Structure 1
């Protein structure tokens, strides 16, 4: 009986100690910004006394259409490690006032106001910012304009808004429409800009608007401040493609780390995909750059790359991860019912022409928008029955059988000669891994829209497909499938056109694949 009472007393004491040591949570804060707008925030304050240099501090910024509650569990975990953590709703979202300006001047000015408020009320040490998607982009832009931000974890953020909404002059219809329609309180100009982009009007103004909100435009600020930047993007993120994030990474001169993961936009981070590695790496990044912990992250390889489907983690010293590549040259098909070939030697035969047409989508594609891409992050690939791709509306080229695993790492590049029958045409290039049963698994893709071109004249089209990491098993082929429409993208107004593909000594089309 005495032992039971003693255990009960000890248990009560432990519970009391835990409750006493838990960080203080201030659920609702109204912080007045420079223009009188109230920003809704919450705050975790560590229970421990502040270090002499002040609390290491992190500001969490919400994703599009979410609010200050998004990072509750991450914020609490950091606070238990001694961080002061502020989470806020950006203007126009949650209970914050103002209107959504897509990371415009007002939203970026808010970042400095929040830092001022923290410094006025708490002992703030080295400060960082983090966020997913919209929050990641604002974190980068805020750090570029305020040197007090010493470290950033940008997860599924953006480097280039132009590439996001208008890749290769192709309107990103699904993702752009989703963004515009889920911002209920937004600046009036956003609807007009989206309408202009869709109609092809006032494009200079649209591109200027997007460039002013692109982190790549402010690379000098990040480098001058020496900001420690962690970037995370996902291979099937067809909103903020990894290509531009890889480019931003290459331009950074300060401490940097790049995470490339399977999955689609933001889902991998929100659902703690990749075995929770993205968040644990972000925490280690802050522990080193804000708390000064010698945890080794500064001496590890800079690039963490997980292979699509298998999710196997690979680490590399830098990007690009390989200097090796193979170039295959496209060979003609002889009927609508068979494929062209891809060979290692340039085409040197008689001039030949293949034709495919606009006007209909085919089975070549990225699967069900959003859903297929999200499932891929958990190892469920997009399959396509290659025999069902209509040869009237598409053309396919197949490689030789790969007798050993082809480990694709990077950005495949297509250089293709075409003769379009209209000035404006669209191509959708898809790269597949095709096994003996004829089922294709999507490796990567990219769209391109040619506007104001030379109808009926040969011209070379150069397309960089989206960054990928994929292992093509031994016994499989690589197949390039090209059609003229895709579910994600807006098609041209007039789709009654044909694409002729010439083959000659002087018009040699090719596909170059980077691999280990």
Structure 2
């Protein structure tokens, strides 16, 4: 049968118009949840009929203090690729009613209502949850509570509320204050919990509040559900550190992937950091686990780790990424004007003590809160002069000169013997990459606060630094700098105390660093 050129042209134009047709976007949806609260949402419906097994579907949950429009670009891209995509404002944020309960039972139940709403109106196939920060935490908890969820992309999320706001029993003052001040419809219970944490009262109540809001409490449910979990966290995220997310990752038995990136909380994901690697990987994760696309992500290494400063992507089969460890023992300094040593051999000299004092901050630190952390994602690290650190209020230990690049990958650990002069003392632990001129770049840090220390008695503390990926260049040193105050943490009410570090053959303080 012959077709006229005009009909062929019209037919081609019609097919092109159909292929370019945009998904339908429903701007405003008011969905009544289980307790009568109205949730504000929007929806992308893909063009064309649903596949036989239903639309692959993604539900986006907003970050703290943001709302349903946060993911418009990502949602539109997924919808263009055939996904049914809903974004909503969690209760208490945006135009949604109710109070912010910090991923409490009501917020998790809301996710189930939204899933039911979608399934009642559209042919929903496999289902994924996604979000940044607050949205990531809610997504993980909802996936544990609702077996209907097939896959999760949790970006800059948490698995342990306590680690976020009370790392090593140290109040995360800057981040906690920012969060509580930026939620206008906060449940009064949350204000009470934050007040208790800051005052050191009712810590048992704080832990009771945190447990059902922490995904680590629901690992068994995630494993039973077989949820495919992708997690992304950032090395300079001093709110939701990578450490507890790594703990969750190691306990998951189903499909899983871990992305560890430079930068601070939520900024790397929001600004398309890692050259777009995070979102691109998240989309591939959903394509495989929701659409069944054989894109190879299930056969790739499970851990993507991007080296700080250089922003070079490395991939590893699992975490920990290396079994290599170097242990350096702490050796004493001679006076307040000297530094101690990090040496490969244990201390075997005369009994010795070094002392430093609370009451003042020093040049050892994490830089300007939030700003320095954000710049780190763009390859601009925290610098300080190690020569200018006050030896009365801090103590430093220098490693031997590194003759080749030391590729730190993982979680450094410090075992430190101390004799405190007060029952409540705080230590701020920092690892620096120090050049021969004494200029240091921050590698990682960790705080620790003792609230019931035995005064005048030697006791050992063991602390994990925040997980990192950092290359110490040849010709540089690793410096351990310890002082008693940090810009983002709440200090003890009484800072007039002394820390003594004893050196004995039977009390070895040591630093352990994982490296390639």
- Same fold judged by TM-score > 0.5? yes
User: What is the CA–CA distance in structure 2 between the aligned matches of 1:176 and 1:301, rounded to whole Å?
Assistant: 35
- Tell me whether 1:320 sits opposite 2:320 in the alignment: yes
The equivalences for 1:208-357 within 5 A come to 208-357=208-357
- 3-state secondary structure, aligned to 2:291: coil
- Post-superposition Cα deviations, 1:472-512, rounded to whole Å, max 9, x if no partner, equal 00000000000000001000000000000110111111000
Corresponding residue for residue 197 of structure 2:
197
User: What is the CA–CA distance in structure 1 between the aligned matches of 2:302 and 2:291, rounded to whole Å?
Assistant: 20
User: What is the CA–CA distance in structure 2 between the aligned matches of 1:376 and 1:14, rounded to whole Å?
Assistant: 50
So what's the TM-score if we normalise by structure 1? 0.97
User: What is the CA–CA distance in structure 1 between the aligned matches of 2:90 and 2:159, rounded to whole Å?
Assistant: 19
- Tell me whether 1:108 sits opposite 2:108 in the alignment: yes
- Tell me whether 1:445 sits opposite 2:445 in the alignment: yes
User: What is the CA–CA distance in structure 2 between the aligned matches of 1:287 and 1:191, rounded to whole Å?
Assistant: 40
Aligned-pair distance for 1:436?
1.4
Corresponding residue for residue 80 of structure 2:
80
So what's the TM-score if we normalise by structure 2? 0.97
User: What is the CA–CA distance in structure 2 between the aligned matches of 1:13 and 1:260, rounded to whole Å?
Assistant: 46
Corresponding residue for residue 3 of structure 1:
none
Corresponding residue for residue 121 of structure 2:
121
- Tell me whether 1:456 sits opposite 2:464 in the alignment: no
Corresponding residue for residue 392 of structure 2:
392
User: What is the CA–CA distance in structure 2 between the aligned matches of 1:424 and 1:488, rounded to whole Å?
Assistant: 18
- Post-superposition Cα deviations, 1:239-261, rounded to whole Å, max 9, x if no partner, equal 00100000000000000000000
Runs of 5+ unmatched residues, structure 2: 1-5
Corresponding residue for residue 361 of structure 2:
361
Aligned-pair distance for 1:13?
5.3
User: What is the CA–CA distance in structure 2 between the aligned matches of 1:73 and 1:126, rounded to whole Å?
Assistant: 21
Corresponding residue for residue 21 of structure 1:
21
- Post-superposition Cα deviations, 1:315-370, rounded to whole Å, max 9, x if no partner, equal 00000000010000000000111100010000000001000000000010000011
Q: 1:21 to 1:86 in 2, by over 3 A?
A: same
User: What is the CA–CA distance in structure 1 between the aligned matches of 2:112 and 2:102, rounded to whole Å?
Assistant: 17
Corresponding residue for residue 55 of structure 1:
55
User: What is the CA–CA distance in structure 1 between the aligned matches of 2:158 and 2:304, rounded to whole Å?
Assistant: 18
- Tell me whether 1:498 sits opposite 2:498 in the alignment: yes
- Post-superposition Cα deviations, 1:125-172, rounded to whole Å, max 9, x if no partner, equal 000000000000000000000011100000000010011010000000
- Tell me whether 1:474 sits opposite 2:453 in the alignment: no
The equivalences for 1:107-186 within 5 A come to 107-186=107-186
Over aligned residues, Cα RMSD in angstroms? 1.4
- 3-state secondary structure, aligned to 1:180: helix
User: What is the CA–CA distance in structure 2 between the aligned matches of 1:290 and 1:434, rounded to whole Å?
Assistant: 47
Corresponding residue for residue 509 of structure 1:
509
Aligned-pair distance for 1:312?
0.3
Count the aligned residue pairs.
Answer: 508
Aligned-pair distance for 1:19?
9.0
- 3-state secondary structure, aligned to 1:212: helix
User: What is the CA–CA distance in structure 2 between the aligned matches of 1:492 and 1:14, rounded to whole Å?
Assistant: 71
Aligned-pair distance for 1:18?
6.8
User: What is the CA–CA distance in structure 1 between the aligned matches of 2:13 and 2:96, rounded to whole Å?
Assistant: 41
Aligned-pair distance for 1:17?
1.6
Moved beyond 3 Å, runs of 4+: 12-16
User: What is the CA–CA distance in structure 2 between the aligned matches of 1:203 and 1:53, rounded to whole Å?
Assistant: 49
Q: 1:350 to 1:146 in 2, by over 3 A?
A: same
- 3-state secondary structure, aligned to 1:207: helix
User: What is the CA–CA distance in structure 2 between the aligned matches of 1:366 and 1:405, rounded to whole Å?
Assistant: 23
Aligned-pair distance for 1:16?
8.1
- Tell me whether 1:414 sits opposite 2:422 in the alignment: no
- 3-state secondary structure, aligned to 1:28: strand
Q: 1:14 to 1:369 in 2, by over 3 A?
A: farther
- 3-state secondary structure, aligned to 1:31: strand
- Post-superposition Cα deviations, 1:417-454, rounded to whole Å, max 9, x if no partner, equal 00000001000000000011211000000000011110
- 3-state secondary structure, aligned to 1:149: coil
- 3-state secondary structure, aligned to 1:290: helix
User: What is the CA–CA distance in structure 1 between the aligned matches of 2:97 and 2:360, rounded to whole Å?
Assistant: 45
